[in-house]
Structure 1
Amino acid sequence: MNELGFIPVTLVPVVWIVAAYLLGSIAFGILISKLYGLPDPRSVGSGNIGATNVARSGKKSAAVLTLLGDAFKGWFPVWLALQSGMLMWVVSAVALAVFFGHLYPVYHGFKGGKGVATALGVMLAISPWLGLAALATWIVVFAATRYSSLGAIVAAALAPVFAWYLLPYQDYVLTVLVMSVWLIWRHRSNIRKLLAGTESGFGKKK
């Protein structure tokens, strides 16, 4: 008998990967905004479904719940795969599946968020120290500049370096590298605005 009883053992990794992608496709920013009676985050601010844009609604609790939901959905499948003794490549595939599920959700026309909180959840599952190092980087940059996007970009750029020193397995370092490259790519419009001096920062006048 295999891990799922009735599913052929060769298909078990596929089930894990598909399930992770479907979980990643759940947009907590949209769900939480509906529960609070707030505008759809895709229709306001930056149009992003993440916690930063939800925070612009003025409901900090909605933003916090969005952040926690997006981080949890990144953490849970990776943690579960590790606890279930999945092979390293399966864990890496699950991590990338949930991350890309957030970026390209099947439930919302494959138009999702930038993946910062979900990537954080994935890194916390792989290594709490890695996740905390990335989070600390974001906090320091954000505190100094008040730009959430800049904090995310710097954290993403440094995450592979942290992973190289903190993680014992190359598969997971490559996983972090892939997420980091995609995170920076997803922030390309923010990079242009930062260079032009037009990026919106918390507590900053436009």
Structure 2
Amino acid sequence: MIIDAVIIIAAYLFGSVSAAIVTCRAMGLPDPRNEGSRNPGATNVLRVGNRTAAGITLLGDFLKGVIPVVLAVLLGLDPVTVALAGLAAFLGHLYPVFFGFQGGKGVATGLGVLLAWSWPALLLTVGTWLLIAALFRYSSLAALVSFLLAPFYLAYLGAPQAILFGMLAVTVITFWRHQGNLQALLNGTEKKIGEKD
């Protein structure tokens, strides 16, 4: 039980390290919380910075989801703890203790968690994201559609119930965090991928 608790807490703290803010500071770029969409994530870093910074941010946020869950799996912890570790890393990105609990929307970190939970489900989810992004050029729409389908992919692949419920939680929270994007999509004011202010 102690190891389980330590892993879950460590996953949250690891997720709380904002790749967007750290990358922008290191590269002398504007704070993504104060520019563009004001979201500290890869899409906004691309908007206020450049592709290199956005790529580093994307990789950093993705690995925040992968590493804690892989560690829980390697330690042989039960599926409930593995699911909670992933959810904790995801919540750390959204509500980082190191940055005033003001984090990103969790797409890259959520995908990292999904990789560690089930790589086949990740491939299906990323494929969905790429298809929607290519067709409509809206990162938020691609994220919402792909995360909506992710639990169905996990269920089809026979994932443990704890992991399935973990992904359902991630999906619900993702939609909650994208309320503004949903409204912008409905209003026709959502910015497309790479579009500057």
TM category (shorter chain) comes to over 0.9
- Percent sequence identity is 48
Paired with 1:204 and 1:116, the residues of 2 have a C-alpha distance of 19
The runs of at least 4 consecutive aligned structure 1 residues that moved more than 3 Å come to 203-206
2:154 equivalent to 1:160: no
SS of alignment partner, residue 22 of structure 1: helix
Please give the TM-score of this superposition, normalised by the length of structure 1. 0.92
CA distance in 1: counterparts of 2:137 and 2:54, whole angstroms: 16
Letter in 2 for 1:195: L
2:158 and 2:56 mapped to 1: Cα distance? 29
Asked whether the 8 Å contact 1:17–1:93 carries over to 2, the reply is: yes
Q: 2:69, 2:85 within 8 Å by CA — same for their partners in 1?
A: yes
Residue 78 of structure 1 is matched in structure 2 by 69
For the Cα contact (< 8 Å) 1:77–1:94, is it kept in 2? yes
User: Which residue number corresponds to residue 136 of structure 2?
Assistant: 145
Distance (Å, rounded) in 2 between the aligned partners of 1:60 and 1:15: 36
Is 2:97 the counterpart of 1:106?
Answer: yes
The residue that corresponds to 2:15 in the other structure is 24
Output the amino acid matched with 1:22: L
Shift of 1:100: 0.3
Mapped contact 1:21–1:101 kept (Cα < 8 A): yes
Pair 1:144–1:88, CA change in 2 (3 A): same
Q: State how far apart, in whole Å, the 2-side matches of 1:52 and 1:100 are.
A: 19
Distance across 1 between alignment mates of 2:158 and 2:70 = 15
Residue segments in structure 2 that go unaligned for 5+ positions in a row: none
- Per the alignment, residue 42 of structure 1 pairs with 33
Residue in 2 that maps onto 1:6: none
Give the TM-score normalised by the residue count of structure 2: 0.96
Shift of 1:58: 4.0
- Cα displacement (A) at 1:11: 1.6
Letter aligned with residue 194 of structure 1: L
Following the alignment from structure 1 to structure 2, what is the Cα–Cα distance between the partners of residues 202 and 155?
16
Structure 1 residue 203: deviation in Å? 5.8
The alpha-carbon deviation at position 205 of structure 1 amounts to 8.9
Higher relative contact order (CA 8 A, sep 6+): 2
Aligned pairs for 1:47-66 (under 5 A) are 47-66=38-57
What is the root-mean-square deviation of aligned Cα atoms in Å?
A: 1.3
In 2: Cα distance, 1:126 partner to 1:41 partner: 30
Whether the 8 Å contact between 1:146 and 1:204 is mirrored in structure 2 is: no
Instruction: Say which one has the larger Rg.
Output: 1
Shift in Å, 1:202: 2.6
